[in-house]
Structure 1
Amino acid sequence: MALRESIITSLGDELYEAHVAGVTVPNLRDRNPGMDIVDAYRVQERMIDRRLQSGEKIVGKKIGVTSKVVQDAIGVFEPDFGQLTDAMLVADGATIDLGMLIQPKAEGEIAFVLKRDLVGPGVTAADVLDATEYVTACFEIVDSRIREWDIKIQDTVADNASCGVFALGMEKADPSQIELSSVAMKIERNGQLVSTGMGAAVQGSPLNSVAWLANTLGRFGIPFRAGETILSGALGPMIDICDGDHLRLTVTGGLGTCDLTFKKITGGRNERPTFLR
């Protein structure tokens, strides 16, 4: 049985307020028996509505839970998705204030920036290729409002697919000149290799994951728009982040690098600044 609208609203507000305050809340699934993925997306919609009401703007989408290992761990057999807003975008080379995040982890991905609308259903990998202006290396810093990352699919979907912030590299590669399933990714922390992966880890190819999301959203009448950024999913394991860490992401095939530094500067979200550029 679907959750009542009042409960959906309350849970979306709870997650938004946790985001603003920089705190965590107990997982949603145990407090709401019978909550399903449809309920979870409705909660996500409420949470995002609150962010838009505060002045943020949608700039793209993200795909999560793309690997079989993660899907098995949280009991789901297809990826999920969340919304990206302008407030989540930080610059390549930025220093990020850890006081503005809650329990962040880093993932290396390939980002697609679109040059034309892409409307499902019926979108193929070839359609994604034709609609893409360029691809680039991307750090997604995932961050859960759910206490101690105690998540199943309902929790992460409701929490906007555990979105935190993201950064795009400076290189702009033509995807038609790259076999994206074969590119290799590595993340170095303070000069030491900590994560590796391949393009094929994302649904066989990042093109497939973007096509999946275009078709999934298309069934709900939601298009990809020209100019939007689509994060196609983690190429390898996510890694923990500590105060003072410098992370460098490198993706072969001309996709380039992306660098972020993390420092605890403020005590929380009620202090300034947000992110240092």
Structure 2
Amino acid sequence: MSNVIDLTALATQLDEATLRHEAATQLTGQVALDLATAYRVQAEGIRLREQRGERRVGLKLGFTSRAKMQQMGVDHLIWGELTDAMQIEEGGSLDLSGLIHPRVEPELCFITRKEINGPLSLAEAGLVLEGIAPALEIIDSRYRDFRFTLEDVVADNCSSAKFVIGALRSPQQAIDNLGVVMNFNGRPVQVGSSAAILGHPLRALVQIASLLHQQERVLPAGSVILAGAATAAEALRPGLHVSVDISGFGRTTFHTGGAR
């Protein structure tokens, strides 16, 4: 295992896996990778996307389940970057042949109305939002067998692939314990609650504001923030109508096509 870290080479491996739809070897099997360096690999991967014309639009949050944090031995969430090329039109189609082993999970999405430039309290968190929407995130680890360490998944942009956002609702609406049902072809495949997101989804916003402040980073107004999964993920296959219904809040959908 090498002690020399070539950020561009590692990011390129994952970028090429994405472009070729072929799984790559876990990075931690090649180099000694710590969490800070994994985020540097992630940033280099986003730079490669930007060189192709993609534009950053926000963040996806991961490990927003207390149980998942304990399982992975961390005390805070992780994040990946979202770009405009990742967004699918609501009710649109996703060609699975362009992915490796895609899965979908239901989420809540925050849209900011002003920049996040410092820590937020739970009371303040809702005040920075333009609205909140039901969302579906398609994750797709670029690693073989969907196996990875904490450092691997961060370097791989937290397995982010695609996302769908439904209609915006008022940021003043209560979201602490909403029923969440994800359906395949009209049949429930996952049932949960928004409370699975750190007990209250706005706590995810509080955490990411603090972490961004530590890095002296400002998140612009109009940013998309996927707050984290409300249930376990489900593997995708062609021919599905995928929807999430969030009680008293709304729904969003997409269809799957392509060969697997």
Q: TM-score if structure 2 supplies the norm length?
A: 0.95
Corresponding residue for residue 113 of structure 1: 111
Matched length: 259
Corresponding residue for residue 191 of structure 1: 186
Corresponding residue for residue 141 of structure 2: 144
Which portions of structure 1, spanning 4 or more consecutive aligned residues, are displaced by more than 6 angstroms? none
Corresponding residue to 1:204 among 193, 199, 220: 199
**1:203-234 Cα distance to aligned partner (Å, 9 max, x none):** 11110101111110111121121111100000
Corresponding residue to 2:170 among 163, 168, 174: 174
Q: 1:175 to 1:148 in 2, by over 3 A?
A: same
Q: Secondary structure at the match of 1:180?
A: coil
- Give, in whole Å, the separation in 1 of the partners of 2:248 and 2:200: 14
Q: Does 1:246 align with 2:246?
A: no
Corresponding residue for residue 90 of structure 2: 92
Q: CA RMSD in A?
A: 1.6
Aligned-partner residue type, residue 169 of structure 2: A
Corresponding residue for residue 100 of structure 2: 102
Corresponding residue for residue 128 of structure 2: 131
**1:145-194 Cα distance to aligned partner (Å, 9 max, x none):** 1111111111110000100000001x221121x22111111101112111
Aligned-partner residue type, residue 89 of structure 1: Q
Corresponding residue to 2:219 among 219, 224, 247: 224
- Give, in whole Å, the separation in 2 of the partners of 1:214 and 1:53: 27
Q: Give, in angstroms, the shift of residue 3 of structure 1.
A: 5.6
Q: Give, in angstroms, the shift of residue 30 of structure 1.
A: 2.1
Q: Give, in angstroms, the shift of residue 73 of structure 1.
A: 4.0
User: Does structure 2 retain, via aligned residues, the 8 Å contact 1:3–1:39?
Assistant: no
Corresponding residue for residue 154 of structure 1: 151
1:3-152 residue pairs with structure 2 within 5 A?
4-5=4-5, 7-33=6-32, 35-120=33-118, 122-152=119-149
1:230-269 residue pairs with structure 2 within 5 A?
230-254=225-249, 256-264=250-258
- Give, in whole Å, the separation in 2 of the partners of 1:197 and 1:181: 12
**1:59-107 Cα distance to aligned partner (Å, 9 max, x none):** 0111012113333444433211000000001111011111111111001
- Give, in whole Å, the separation in 2 of the partners of 1:95 and 1:136: 19
- Give, in whole Å, the separation in 1 of the partners of 2:16 and 2:92: 26
- Give, in whole Å, the separation in 1 of the partners of 2:102 and 2:128: 32
- Give, in whole Å, the separation in 2 of the partners of 1:47 and 1:237: 26
- Give, in whole Å, the separation in 2 of the partners of 1:47 and 1:101: 17
- Give, in whole Å, the separation in 1 of the partners of 2:71 and 2:144: 17
User: Does structure 1 retain, via aligned residues, the 8 Å contact 2:76–2:207?
Assistant: no
- Give, in whole Å, the separation in 1 of the partners of 2:186 and 2:3: 48
- Give, in whole Å, the separation in 1 of the partners of 2:192 and 2:202: 16
Residue ranges of structure 2 left out of the alignment (5+ in a row): none
Identity fraction in percent: 31
Residue ranges of structure 1 left out of the alignment (5+ in a row): 268-277
User: Does structure 2 retain, via aligned residues, the 8 Å contact 1:75–1:152?
Assistant: no
Corresponding residue for residue 273 of structure 1: none
User: Does structure 1 retain, via aligned residues, the 8 Å contact 2:56–2:83?
Assistant: yes
Q: Relative to structure 2, which stretch is displaced further, 24-33 or 228-237?
A: 24-33
- Give, in whole Å, the separation in 1 of the partners of 2:122 and 2:22: 39
Q: Secondary structure at the match of 2:176?
A: helix
**1:118-148 Cα distance to aligned partner (Å, 9 max, x none):** 112x212222200101100000001111111
